[in-house]
A = this chain, B = another copy of it.
Amino acid sequence: MLVVQKYGGTSVRDIERIRNVAQRAIDYKNKGNDMVIVVSAMSGETDRLLNLANSIGKFPDEREVDVLISTGEQVTSALLAITLKEMGHDAISVLGHQVKIATDSSFGKARIEKLEKERILEELKKGKIVVVPGFQGVDKEGNITTLGRGGSDTTGVALAAGLSADVCEIYTDVDGVYTTDPNVCDKARRLDRISYDEMLEMAGLGAKVLQIRSVELAQKYNVPILVKSSLVEGKGTLVCKEEMMSMEKVVISGITYSKNEAKITVRGVPDKPGVAAGIFTALSDAKIVVDIIVQNVSRGTTTDITFTVAKTDAKKAYAIMEDTAQKTGAEKVTMDEDMAKVSIVGLGMISHAGIASKMFSVLASEGINIEAITTSEIKVSCVIESKYGELAVRALHTAFGLDDEDVREEK
């Protein structure tokens, strides 16, 4: 087997943890696998470097910030290669420009365009464990680029895809993907498997186990991702295509939620083309990320538009909307800063009717009012008052049968 393993910052935060990583890589190798290891910067290092850059000025040059922060992963790669050799196994670090991992020139958020696999295959053929720094690439002009926060996951999956690896194992500080946040619901269970689509919805909704782009990439190239803990032994969670899922016993795979959301409603918006565009252009010009958007049906000549933003952006967004409302002739703007978003995610809902209405009933039975609803093929999200967030998660977890161990784990 050709195995790509990726380790996050907490898994390589000191020499002791790096030794653990090296030991696992050697164990795998000794079982006859070819090993490629992708590493993040030691935890805290990227922030330390970014703080240096930000102490210089408000808008540090993006090209140079990438030159700066890419050193974090380079340091870890060298330390891991040194450790592997010290432990008696031949190894080599191959940096982004040595691989090479060709990206576009969007510094700080570059996208991988092409991956040359020859160098890595050559080193694997020599029996070496190959260590590659995550997060970094090189553009056409040879400039160093970085892939954005969590970009090492993407590096791992891209290498697995490019090298036709059998699996991409992502080691992190949790032991897999859970039905919901264990801190909120003590009946939360680790999933043995989850489909790419479900994982995308989970990742986008706050279950921050994998960078969302890495899941997209894995789906595109059909790379199975195994999410595991680097600290405790366990089976982890396999993120794979739908066809690899066992017969679905349940329709819902997980419940996600995020607090610190603010809901803003613009009432009495003239119902004519271009008005919604105007509202959201004003927000994006101010670099405010809008999460969900709900537009109610028209009441004749006007309509209401509701959206959520992060609580930290709420006041700014509200001010912009007041301004926009005046310009467009909308009636008024209201805001509620203490909102949460609760979502259910599951492939099963495609073929099962009544999932959404069951969710609404469960929330109603707990006395929770729904402020806004938005749905996709495999997800239903409800905006509710923040104080009910945890209660909603637990109630839904039970109602959709996720509490039962037999249901979720493959024996």
The B-contacting residues of A in range 58-93, CB under 8 angstroms, are: 59-61, 63-65, 67-68, 71, 74-75, 77-79, 81-83, 85-86, 92-93
Task: Quote the shortest CB–CB distance from A321 to chain B (angstroms).
Answer: 33
Interface string of A3-14 (1 = CB under 8 A from B): 000000000000
Is the pair A83, B56 in contact by a Cβ cutoff of 8 Å? yes
Among B71, B77, B86, the residue within 8 A (CB) of A57 is B86
Interface residues of A (CB under 8 A from B): 15, 18, 49, 52-53, 55-57, 59-61, 63-65, 67-68, 71, 74-75, 77-79, 81-83, 85-86, 92-93, 95, 97-98, 142-144
Q: How far is the CB of A249 from chain B (nearest CB, A)?
A: 48
Q: Which of B59, B65, B82, B144 interacts with A64 by CB under 8 Å?
A: B82
Q: Which residue of B lies closest to A86 (CB)?
A: B57
For residue A68, which residues in chain B have a CB less than 8 angstroms away from its CB? 74-75, 78-79, 82
Tell which of A18, A75, A77, A85 has the most Cβ of chain B within 10 Å.
Answer: A75
In the complex where A15-B56, A49-B75, A75-B49 touch, is A67 in contact with B83 (Cβ < 8 A)? Answer: no
Docked complex Cα distance between A18 and B79 (Å): 28
List 5 A–B pairs whose Cβ atoms lie within 8 Å, in order of A's numbering: A60-B86, A67-B77, A67-B81, A68-B74, A98-B142
SS class, residues of chain A in contact with chain B: helix
Structural contact, B74 and A57, CB atoms closer than 8 A? no
**Contact between A65 and B53, CB atoms less than 8 A apart:** no
Asked, given contacts A71-B75, A93-B67, A95-B144, whether A61 binds B49 with beta carbons under 8 Å apart, the answer is no
Task: Return A89 CB to nearest CB of chain B, in Å.
Answer: 11
B-side contacts of A142, CB under 8 Å: 97-98
- Please name all residues of chain B whose beta carbon is closer than 8 Å to the beta carbon of A59 when the two chains form the complex: 86
> In the bound complex, how far is the Cα of B22 from the Cα of A57, in angstroms?
14
Known contacts A95-B67, A142-B98; decide if A81 and B53 are in contact (CB<8 Å). Answer: no
Chain B: minimal CB distance from A119 (Å): 9
- Taking CB as reference atom, which chain B residue is nearest A42? B52
Most chain B CB within 10 A, of A57, A68, A74, is at: A68
Cα A129 to Cα B257 with chains together (Å): 49
**How distant is A39 from chain B, measured CB to nearest CB, in Å?**
12
Question: Please, which residues of chain B bring their CB within 8 A of the CB of A77?
Answer: 67
Interfacial chain B residues near A71, Cβ < 8 Å: 71, 74-75
